């Protein structure tokens, strides 16, 4: 594979020997259950066939040196500098290095060994487009340190440590879905995760159905404020609904019926946000039996409803995402289309009859370009395996 050759060559040029190991960890796409992970709901992601690859070798010094090939940047840190988020020369650790360094930090917190290493990594998961390039970097380094430390943790525990790294070291308040999907992916399967109990199961995707990801190429900056506002609205809804429904701990515990009974007591904006969450959790609970019965048609309708809800109730869409989804939903072979990830830009996910997928991708690209004025990137992808050591 090209990307493996690329990092192997850079490793040899930089460190004067071939790398001892190669690890990979995929990005992910979520098919249903958006903005419900932090409300204890269900999510339905799949690991995709795009991944971060890291070439690495242990070193005798106590200094870990990383080279991010895609950024052409280098950073060095050690167990001594990790707390202060500095490099070994005392300069501040660059932002991109917080992801792998955060993994080292989380492992140290968990009293697991973090053997110093030399590493070169690169990825074909697009950055910041909602396919979770960050979790793929974290999980790739998790495998690297696990390999060198010879400790073994269940994949879900690795995911939780990756999430801790991103929450507490990088400072991004993400849920568990991204790291979970990257760590636990199964070929040709969707993963149904209960974000409260962390129980999960696989659901096979029929072999004649393709997952098509369409990148609008629009990236919104400063969306973390909007994200935090949505989280706060959900918390407020729970607080207010608890007066009538004292048993509820999160929106997960509110049925659609109960919600409709008490929604009048919520302020307008809070009620819209909470309605999305309550109805989306209901949609994901229908999804399991639909998929198990092979009813992709009906499942696709739930994806379309999800998009409308994210657009009108949760208000995390943007004109480009709406254009991409609207065009897709009219195309031949498309079962369902919606924005995926946090929103405000990034990608849509589409379920498409496999034999129609190429034509779908082409027509969607042309339609989007003529309406939105940007050339999109479209990936026909497959549900793939989770993080693993390749060599
Ligand atoms: P995403 O939705 O892709 O996860 P994030 O904003 O959560 O978007 O994470 C993107 C960040 O992760 C990048 O800004 C960078 O710091 C880090 N990252 C992702 N991919 C790479 C890579 N190939 N090389 C170095 N850093 C990366
Ligand atoms: Mg991310």
Tell me the best of 137, 141, 176, 219 to mutate to test the pocket of ligand 1, counting ligand atoms within 8 Å of each CB and taking the most: 137
At residue 168, does pLDDT exceed 90?
yes
Cβ count near 208 (within 10 Å): 11
130 lines ligand 1 (CB under 6 A): yes
CA nearest 336: which of 44, 135, 39, 128?
44
Please pick, among 49, 178, 253, 322, the residue that the annotation labels catalytic: 178
Q: From CA 76, how far away is CA 252, in angstroms rounded?
A: 43
Q: From CA 309, how far away is CA 316, in angstroms rounded?
A: 9
Q: What is the mean pLDDT of the chain?
A: 97
CA of 1 to the centre of ligand 1 (A): 22
Active site residue 178: yes
Q: Strand, helix or coil at 337?
A: strand
Exposure of 37 in the CB half-sphere (CA atoms within 13 A): 22
- What was the pLDDT predicted at 221? 72
At residue 211, does pLDDT exceed 90?
yes
- What was the pLDDT predicted at 353? 98
- What was the pLDDT predicted at 351? 98
Phi-psi map region of 346: left, alpha, beta (phi>0 left; psi -120 to 50 alpha): left
Instruction: Give the model confidence (pLDDT) of 135-157 as tens digits.
Output: 999 999 999 999 999 999 999 99
Per-residue pLDDT band for 173 (boundaries 50, 70, 90) equals: confident
Find the mean pLDDT for residues 183-208: 97
Atom of ligand 1 nearest to the CA of 98: 16
Per-residue pLDDT band for 222 (boundaries 50, 70, 90) equals: low
137 lines ligand 1 (CB under 6 A): yes
CA of 216 to the centre of ligand 1 (A): 17
Find the mean pLDDT for residues 111-128: 97
- With a pLDDT cut of 70, the percent of the chain lying above it is 100
Tell me the best of 68, 85, 128, 141 to mutate to test the pocket of ligand 1, counting ligand atoms within 8 Å of each CB and taking the most: 128
Instruction: Give the model confidence (pLDDT) of 261-270 as tens digits.
Output: 999 999 999 9
Q: Are 139 and 197 a contacting pair, CB within 8 Å?
A: no
The pTM of the full predicted model, rounded to 2 decimals, is 0.96
Find the mean pLDDT for residues 236-265: 98
CA nearest 100: which of 133, 131, 126?
133
Per-residue pLDDT band for 277 (boundaries 50, 70, 90) equals: very high
Between the alpha carbon of residue 171 and those of residues 86, 165, 273, the distances in Å are 16, 8, 24
> Which ligand is closest in space to the CA of residue 75?
1
Find the mean pLDDT for residues 281-287: 97
Q: Are 207 and 188 a contacting pair, CB within 8 Å?
A: yes
Atom of ligand 1 nearest to the CA of 341: 2
- With a pLDDT cut of 90, the percent of the chain lying above it is 95
Atom of ligand 1 nearest to the CA of 133: 3
The alpha carbons of the chain give a radius of gyration, in whole angstroms, of 21
- What was the pLDDT predicted at 174? 85
Q: What is the DSSP string of 93-156?
A: PPGGGHHHHHHHHHHHHTT-----EEEEEEE-SPTTSSS-HHHHHHHHHHHHHHHHHT----HH
Instruction: Give the model confidence (pLDDT) of 29-85 as tens digits.
Output: 999 999 999 999 999 999 999 999 999 999 999 999 999 999 999 999 999 999 999
């Amino acid at each position: 594979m090209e990307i493996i050759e690329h990092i192997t060559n850079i490793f040899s040029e930089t460190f004067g020997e071939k790398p001892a190991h190669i690890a990979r960890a995929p990005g992910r796409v979520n098919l249903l259950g958006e903005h419900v992970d932090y409300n204890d709901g269900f999510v339905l992601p799949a690991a995709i066939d795009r991944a971060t690859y890291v070439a690495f070798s242990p070193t005798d010094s106590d200094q870990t040196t990383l080279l991010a090939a895609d950024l052409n940047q280098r950073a060095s840190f050690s167990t001594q500098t990790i707390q202060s988020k500095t490099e070994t020369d005392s300069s501040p650790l660059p932002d991109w290095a917080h992801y792998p360094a955060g993994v080292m930090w989380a492992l140290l917190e968990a009293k697991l060994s973090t053997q110093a290493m030399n590493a070169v990594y690169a990825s074909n998961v697009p950055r910041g487009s909602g396919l979770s390039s960050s979790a793929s970097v974290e999980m790739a380094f998790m495998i690297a340190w696990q390999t060198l430390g010879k400790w073994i943790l269940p994949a879900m525990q690795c995911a939780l440590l990756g999430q801790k790294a991103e929450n507490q070291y990088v400072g991004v308040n993400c849920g568990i879905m991204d790291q979970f999907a990257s760590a636990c992916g199964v070929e040709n399967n969707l993963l149904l995760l209960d974000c409260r109990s962390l129980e999960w199961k696989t659901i096979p995707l029929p072999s004649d159905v393709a997952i098509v990801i369409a990148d609008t190429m629009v990236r919104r900056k400063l969306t973390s404020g909007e994200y935090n506002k949505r989280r706060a609205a959900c918390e407020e809804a729970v607080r207010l609904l608890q007066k009538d429904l004292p048993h509820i701990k999160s929106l997960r515990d509110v049925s659609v019926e109960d919600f409709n009974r008490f929604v009048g007591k919520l302020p307008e904006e809070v009620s819209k946000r909470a309605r999305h969450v309550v109805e989306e959790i209901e949609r994901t609970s229908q999804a399991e039996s639909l998929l198990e019965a092979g009813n992709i048609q009906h499942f696709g309708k739930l994806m379309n409803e999800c998009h409308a809800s994210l657009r009108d109730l949760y208000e995390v869409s943007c004109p480009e995402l709406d254009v991409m989804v609207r065009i897709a939903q009219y195309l031949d072979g498309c079962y369902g289309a919606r924005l995926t990830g946090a929103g405000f830009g990034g990608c849509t996910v589409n379920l498409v009859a496999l034999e129609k997928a190429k034509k779908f991708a082409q027509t969607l690209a042309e339609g989007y370009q003529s309406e939105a004025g940007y050339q999109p990137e479209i990936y026909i992808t497959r549900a793939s395996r989770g993080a693993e050591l390749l060599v």
